[in-house]
Structure 1
Amino acid sequence: MPLSEHEQQLLAQLEKQLHADDPRFVTSMGSRAVRGASTRNIVLGIVIAVVGLLVLLGGVVLKSVLLGVLGFVVMGAGVYVATLRSGKPRAEGASGKGGSPRRSSPFLQNLEQRWDQRNSGGQP
C-alpha cells in the first residue's frame, strides 16, 4: 500500500531532522554506510565451504560421523567468512565523551512530545 503524499512529506521531514540531529547514527544505519562483503571474503568463504563439503562427503563415504560433523562445521565457517563485512568501522565523530550520558536530541524530544499529545487525545 503506497504512502499518501502527506505521509511521504512527514517521512522526508523526519529524515531531514534525523540527518541534522544525529549524523553519526544516520551514517551507521544508512545504506551508504553499510559495507558489503569484499570479493576476497566471498572467494575465501566459498573455497572453505567447498573444502567443508568435500570433508562432509568423505565422512559419508567412510561412514564416519565425526568426519561428517567436522565437514559441516567447516562449511559453516566458510559461509561465515563469505558474509563478513569488509573494512573497519569509521571513527568519525569520536569526541572522547568517555561514556557520559547523552542528552536527548531535539528530534527525539519532538517525537516524544507528539507521542504524548496523541496518547492524551490532543492534536499535534
Structure 2
Amino acid sequence: MLDQMEQQLAAEDPKFASNMQGSGLASLQRRRWVVGVVGALAGLGLVFVGINTTMWVGAIGFALMVAAVAFAVTPPRKGRLGVVQQDGAVQAKGRSRRKSSLIDRLDERWERRENKW
C-alpha cells in the first residue's frame, strides 16, 4: 500500500518526490560505503592470515576486498516508477519490450487469451 502511495506521489509531483527520494539515496550510499570499508578491512585481515597459513585463505581475503570495494563504488539501483491505475494496479513506465522476461511475456499472452473469450 505504501509503495502505491509513493508511486502515485511520484506521478503527481515528480519534483517533490525526487527531493524526498534524494535523502534516502544519500543514506543508502553511505551505508554502501560503510559495508565496503568493513568488507575491505575484513578481506585485508584474511590476506594477512593467509600469509601465515595457506594461500587459499589469502585468495578468499583478496576476493572479499575486491567485492567489497566494487559494492561500495557502484551506485544503488533506483526503483522503477509507475502509474497507479483506478483499480490499484501499477503500470510500469517506459518498460521496454526487449527487457521483458519469459515469465512476463507468458503472463501477457495468457491475459490476452483470457480477454479474447
Which interval holds the TM-score relative to the shorter structure? 0.3 to 0.5
Indicate the structure with greater helix content: 2
TM-score w.r.t. length of structure 2 = 0.45
Indicate the structure with greater strand content: 2
